[in-house]
Structure 1
Amino acid sequence: MTAIRTLALALATAALACPAAHAAKVGVSWSNFQEERWKTDEAALKAQLARTGDSYLSADAAGSPEKQLADIDGLIAKGAQVLVILAMDKDAILPALRKAAQRKIPVIAYDRLIEAPGVFYISFDNKEVGRLQARAVLAAKPKGRFVIIKGSASDPNSDFLRAGQQEVLEPAIKKGEVQIVGEEYTEGWRPEVAQKNMEQILTRTGGKVDAVIAANDGTAGGVVAALAARGIKGLPLSGQDGDHAALNRVALGLQTVSVWKDARQLGQQAAAVASSLAARKPVEGMVKWTGGDKKLSVDALFLKPVPVTRENLDLVVGSGWIGKAELCKGVAAAGAPAACK
């Protein structure tokens, strides 16, 4: 049994053994369900709340910061005793936090940092995600002309990722072995925006690009589309989240790495934190963290990401994250990764 599966089992067992003394209403505000992973997060969060006897209230902002503010008002009106917020915009969300603070409602910033007093932050170590992305791409292409396709400028995770990537790339850049020939944010993390950005970079560089570090699997998909339109295939490329389409690209050799942030773990842990905060109990494993732009000290809990390449695709199959048939769709027998044999 893998360490990840062992952790998940331990968390579930603990939850079953320690049901909430008083059921809490947990309000969850989702920025959108654009990325495949958010439905997985939601399912894990709901399942954990059901185990502890707490109730789940939710709203989907559909990518609108304005709707997200209205959604949170609605969740508060419905009696939410804890709020879990996947913020569409880290600054636009602040009025909702003030309203929650006035009512003494704990707030959990889910996966994306909301740097404000009293907010509990739960995520994976996003700088480490960036490091893992850069290491994998650099191992595949130690020298060359690199492109950086970042996430949304309104999401702090984008800059955390970029900082981690830079730590790894900096020595090669200083030696002149790696050149950054294009770098763009991707509004709303939208794949079509990433595709357009990549197309423009390819035009500016005359197609002279050797590797791409893309912030997540959605933006990586946009990059692949832009490269394919130019007849370019198999360029070293990163992503994150373990989207099924991206894992298939890894198996096909179209993507080098998808840094897997097991959404089942994050959803389950967030629900456990929500139960603890509602009961005014301490959160096990919590740390004080000051890594945001404002250097504000916040309570935080970080999970460990795992890089998935052709060499360890069996990990995502063995954990039940993806089936072998879907992972290996279109993969030729000759040269197939071990997980597809």
Structure 2
Amino acid sequence: MFVGALVALAPRPAAAQDDITIGVSWSNFQEERWKRDESAMREAIEAAGAEYISTDAQSQSAKQLTDVENLIARGADALIILPWDAAAVIPAVQSARNQGIPVVGYDRLIEHPEAFYISYDNREVGRQQARAILKVQPTGNYVFIKGAPTDPNADILHKGQMDVLGERIESGDIKVVGEQYTDGWAPSVAQENMEQILTRTTNEVDAVVASNDGTAGGAISALAAQGMAGAVPVSGQDADHAALNRIARGTQTITVFKDARKLGRQAAEVAIELAQGAELPDIPNTRTWDNGPRGVPMTARLLEPVPITRDNLNVVLEADWIDRATLCRGVETDAVEVCR
């Protein structure tokens, strides 16, 4: 919940494009992908003649609040925020809005009616993960390794997963033998959680629906220790290089490609438009979206994700997301067409 009532203030006077400063608050750089997002975002901001300034919250909610105030003090005309804790950051968002500074919630939902939300369609990501696992394992004991409890996207992803798997669970075809959030989306936490589930079930696990590639990697490490890696399908998302290599080697079933370069560029463009005085409804290719935990209506742009399995690894090669040597490291070339 954000503190205080919404304060309707006139926005700052629109700035000329070459006088604009865009402040970006990053939650951390733990995941491989955030450096890609940042590179594309910074390039787009600077190509437009604006200035890029940024901070790294280093996985600390209190630091992120201070970081946002610091970006405002340094003259940010608009903010892009990747929240560490989506609820804890709301007072900083409200402070920015009280000062007439527009805010773009980046990739992770910040459920505030005056923040623009840009991400990939996370519910569809969850559906794509579940469909791929269900295709290869239609029955049996399932484990859900969810994202961080402080990130609303974790629950949005799980809703998508349940859109596909819910009926099978209700019918008894699928039995949920483990379901665990992952603090900070940390692979080490995911591995520990998976180890505990394997111990509790005496390794009676047939499928793992992990919510991103980091948690997938942790789960696969736990499976590998029991000689089960490759025998149990595992999902992920983000198309991390390590995950794509795991797909080629057969230990991960699916990742979901959400081109971070595209998302970073579009977030930069939206922030610049808002800094120039555009209102939220003026931004093209948006929709009203209210599927967050509190049902707050948001102005959102949701990009379409692409599921990646062994059958279409050519997609990430053709997109120059990964090179063939990295993708195919350790792969028996006869096993994967793109590695031949």
Pair in the same fold by TM > 0.5? yes
Please name the residue that 2:316 is paired with: 316
Aligned: 1:197 with 2:193: yes
Distance 1:23 1:297 in 2: 31
Letter in 2 for 1:82: A
Please name the residue that 2:3 is paired with: none
Whether contact under 8 Å (2:18, 2:48) holds in the other structure is no
For each residue in 1:199-256, what CA deviation from the matched residue of structure 2 results, as whole angstroms up to 9, or x when unmatched?
Answer: 0000000000001000100000000110111111211000000000000000000000
Aligned: 1:251 with 2:248: yes
Aligned: 1:39 with 2:38: no
Please name the residue that 2:158 is paired with: 162
Structure 1 segment 91-170 matched on structure 2, within 5 A: 91-170=87-166
Whether contact under 8 Å (1:115, 1:296) holds in the other structure is yes
Distance 1:67 1:100 in 2: 16
Could you tell me how far 1:132 is from its partner in structure 2? 0.2
- TM-score, normalised by the number of residues in structure 1: 0.93
Distance 1:58 1:21 in 2: 18
Distance 1:296 1:239 in 2: 28
Letter in 2 for 1:49: I
- TM-score, normalised by the number of residues in structure 2: 0.93
Please name the residue that 2:7 is paired with: none
Structure 1 segment 173-212 matched on structure 2, within 5 A: 173-212=169-208
Distance 1:161 1:294 in 2: 16
Q: State the 4+ residue runs in structure 1 displaced beyond 6 angstroms.
A: none
Could you tell me how far 1:280 is from its partner in structure 2? 1.6
Could you tell me how far 1:76 is from its partner in structure 2? 0.5
What runs of 5+ residues in structure 2 fail to find an aligned partner?
1-15
Please name the residue that 1:273 is paired with: 270
Distance 1:80 1:238 in 2: 38
Quote the sequence identity (%): 53
Whether contact under 8 Å (1:57, 1:75) holds in the other structure is yes
Letter in 2 for 1:105: I
Whether contact under 8 Å (1:116, 1:296) holds in the other structure is yes
Whether contact under 8 Å (1:27, 1:75) holds in the other structure is yes
SS of the equivalent of 2:236 reads: strand
Letter in 2 for 1:144: G
Could you tell me how far 1:286 is from its partner in structure 2? 1.4
Could you tell me how far 1:176 is from its partner in structure 2? 1.5
Letter in 2 for 1:289: W
Whether contact under 8 Å (1:22, 1:279) holds in the other structure is no
Please name the residue that 2:289 is paired with: 289
RMSD over equivalenced CA pairs, Å: 0.9
SS of the equivalent of 2:307 reads: strand
Could you tell me how far 1:174 is from its partner in structure 2? 2.4
Distance 1:179 1:232 in 2: 19
Counterpart selection for 1:237 from 228, 234, 250: 234
Aligned length: 321
SS of the equivalent of 1:239 reads: coil
